[in-house]
Structure 1
Amino acid sequence: MKKTILPVLARHKRLTAAVLALAVVLAAGGGAFALLHRKGGDAGDDLNYARTVTLTKGELTESVNVSGLVQSARVSSVTTSLTSKVVAVNVKVGDVVKKGDVICTLDDTDIRRAIQDKEKELSGEKQQLKDAVTKAADALSAAKRARDTERQTQDVRVNEATAQRDKAAAATQAALPAYNDARTHYDTMMKAVAPAESAAAAANAARQTAYDSWIAAGGAAEGDAYAAYQAAEEQARQADTALADARALYEFERYAGELERARQTYDEASARQVEAQSALEQAAAARTQALNACDQTVNSAIADLQQAEKQEKRGVADAALADLKKSLESTVLRAETDGKVTELKVNVGSICKGDVAVIQATDDLIVSVTIPEYAIQKVQVGLAASITSDASPTALRGKVSRISPTAGSSGEGGNASAGFSADIAIQDPENIFIGAKAKAEIILNQKKDVYTVPLDAVQPDGDGMDVIQVRQPDGRFAPVRVQTGMKNDYAVEISGAQLTDGMEVLADASTLPDAEGGGTP
């Protein structure tokens, strides 16, 4: 149950009995208000009257209250660009219509006559369209035949090139065994001659080294350097002779010649195979290119035929005729959405152009409100709201569905106020009417089954801890420490181990004299 606390009155002022009585009637938050009359004779003589609340658990709500008008969230207009006389009106203001229902009908006599004249004018073109289809079909058939002929020609060329390539490949394979045998014999011979070749190469390298040393020593035909060079020269000669003898022994010239002849035969066959493969690839590429050109011609002929058939099916594609037929359809004005007809601007016999009717959905209503600037940081789309109106017998449920990102102003003249326009969607709109005034309480936060007291009932003690002043059996007030929680503009949630139902709490702790507020709770 929601409770509302009266705004806090000015502190340290005595309240008249009438105002205190009114406070008792409007009491809420933590409990009912009571008036206490203090007897004189002690430190509390200056507290003749004190406003208190009786501590009970209840509901605490933080909310923002706004007001506005009930509007439809979906509004559509029935309009026409024609200037014509109205021959029938099918609805009246207040009627509920469905999408597609006829609102009114305009005179279509002139439009129908113009359509007939235009169709007669264009009838001669229909045969031309038919002839165009026949011509396009013949062109397509010719293109397909040309493509088939070209494919056959190109296939013959590719097959011939394939045969030549295969023949060259066979010749290469035939030359390969002789080449492999000659290579094997040559390698065997070279393996036998290899020691002599190595010795000759080493001796010749040593001779060059000795020669270089002799030259570096002066190149005289005497001395150790010269003698070493002469010895190296002799050893190189002997090694070359041994190499020549080894080659002759193992028939170097014969095997080298056989290998060279076999390699030449194999290389020539391989070259012819490469040439044949290149010729085959060129033939295949030429086939692809020729057939692609044929396909382009065929595709172009297909597109021409399709276009001709489409034109024939559509008839005479005349923009003026199409516009006339569209205008004929537009002489019957229909509702674009479900809803109630709230405005009708035509009657039978009148000439209309532009707006004809306004239709507002009745199953999708909103309350258009303005959120005050001080509350905009707390309100967000999706928050629940309670909606009341004199036009509705019961409160309605709602939800914030839109908030403007920029501030504006509402009202007129001196009543204008800054804020953010917003919509509250009504979740059960059966019992409310478009245009009705409504109030909405946007629920920011809500707690149930909690202790609450007026904001001024909580004050810090000497240690900075929050306390409330609780009436004791002797009539005095004693501090009780509490923890505060959620609060709204009037009340605050409190909790603590010492709190119990029925406690009598001072509503405004600042009215308690300092002498009576001392002590440790």
Structure 2
Amino acid sequence: MKKIRRFLANLPQKGATFFARHKLLSILGLVLVVVLVATGLMKALRPDAGIQVTKNQVVTLKHKDVTNAVNETGTVVSSTVVDVYAQKQSPIVALHVKVGDRVEKGDLIAELDSQDIRQQIAEKQASAAAQAKTLGAQISAAKNRLYEAVTGKKNGTNPGVQGANSSLVASFDAYKQAQKVYEDYKRSLDQGYNPELLAEKSERDSLAYQETSSNVKYSQLRYDLAQSSQRAMDSRSRAGSLDGQIAGLKNQLDSLNQQVIQTTREISQKNRDLEKASGANPPAGTPSNGQGSNHSRVEGLQKDLDDLNERQEKTRLEIAQVTENLAKLQGDREKYLAEAEAMDKEVEAMAKTIPNAQIELEKARSDAQLSADKEVKNKKAREDQLKTYKQNMEVAKNAYDQALKALEGARVAQDNDIANLKDSLQQAQAGKNNVDQEELKFLKESLDQTLVKAPASGTITQLKAKLGETPAEALARVETVNTLRVESHIKEYNINDVHVGTKVVLTSDAVEGKEFMGEVVSVSPGPEEKAEGSPSKDVYYKTVIDIKGGQESLLAPGMNVRVKYILSQEKNTFSVPTDAIYERDKNHYILSLKDLGKNRYELVSLPVTVGLSNDFESSITGPALKEKMKVLTSSQGYGQGQVVTIIEAPEEGQDG
């Protein structure tokens, strides 16, 4: 690229001979430049890449103070008097002091005629109220339209989208119907179930089906017969397997009954022995130890009797359990035998149907062997019909694709409509917020200026003001204590911006790094006289600045100072370069960057209210503004909805 630029830059110096000798080379160079530029533009305009902007074309919103100021010079002086000037050229309607009166700073000295200003304020307030009412109605209507559009999108009741969607549904149904006709017909041919084909081979298929069903029926009967026979055998086998268990339980039951009989006999014997032992009395004169021996024998017999009763009870319980188990096994055996008999009857019935099924099978096979396949007829007619169905499907598919595009277009139109309605609402809201208050503010300031107040505390030593007259010089003079002030001046085009009470910041090289706060206490209504022979055409008006108390100790009469008049200031507000703001339909907007990810941003137009502006920046307010929001420093060449990417600013001399 650099070589091509050098080549083109040297063309005028080479002259006609160079062109004659290198005409082809120059043409090729120009073509190459065009191609490279076109390639760069295409790359820059790709929707996916977005338009490239450098980092220094983007600012990030943050809260700060915005100040509009005028810089002049001044001199520190020692002053004992302050002249009081009227800031408006209006007749005096009231005087509140006389010579010799003591006044404090801010006391009312005189009043100027304010009737005209008050009338203008009333008219302006009425106009602002009427405008706000009109804008309120516009905002309400815009909100209603936007609500209807958003609700229509959410509920699917947008007329355009509904119509496009209905057309899409109808075209989709038509396409699917044509597709089904084609595919069904093609499938019927491919798989051989086309009605025409079926008509030709219906007899063969019918016979084949008859043969298959007869074979299945015959095989199923044989299978069912085998299964029933097997189930009968299984039931008898299970019944037989229970016989041994039943016999064992019967033997066990007999043995237990024998045990009960035997135990019963032993219990009877023990009872007799116990009765004898209990009824026997010892002879007279028998030692007492004999009585104790008989008692022990009774206790032994009783214990034996208790053991026999316990053993007999256990045996009876065991007999009950064995009896229960025996009854269950006998019941199962009877059930299995009943199942076997039922299976025998079913097998007997099946055996009678098998010969008939075998006869049907043999007949079906005979009929199938006698049947011959028929040739496929009308093949060409079927192929033509298939082609027609395919063409119909393609036409319906094209209609469906067009309906899809129409629906997408309707949705885009719906979104655009919503975006336009939002834009209209934002414009209406911005209009409401931008009801011009500047003139009203100016009128109120003018009303304040009709009240002439003492700029400093002291004694009235002169009073030149007279009722009904329009003051052309100082109305009064206030004698104050000997103090330091600053005498400065302002240019004629700032005379309406600087007035009594204007805040001032003072700096001096003699006190480096220190700022002194001050306030204008006097502005001369007449211009300063120019020095004889001065080449300057500027017209200046003298100002007197009061230094706030406690700061004078660092200054001295005769010092030169820099004077910064604070014309206006907005604290803790958002600010952007003034070029970032553009106007449309008498409303102001900025272009913010909506993050789409991967360093891609969509430009979004946001309504703003413009506040204080200076030579570099302007303060802005708006409901959509947020801390750290990215904003383009200039809207020139950009617009709503564009996609941009942020790149590093190219170094000096680097190819773009």
Assess same fold via TM > 0.5.
Answer: no
The TM-score, its normalising length taken from structure 2, stands at 0.27
The TM-score, its normalising length taken from structure 1, stands at 0.34
Looking at secondary structure, tell me which structure has more strand per residue.
1
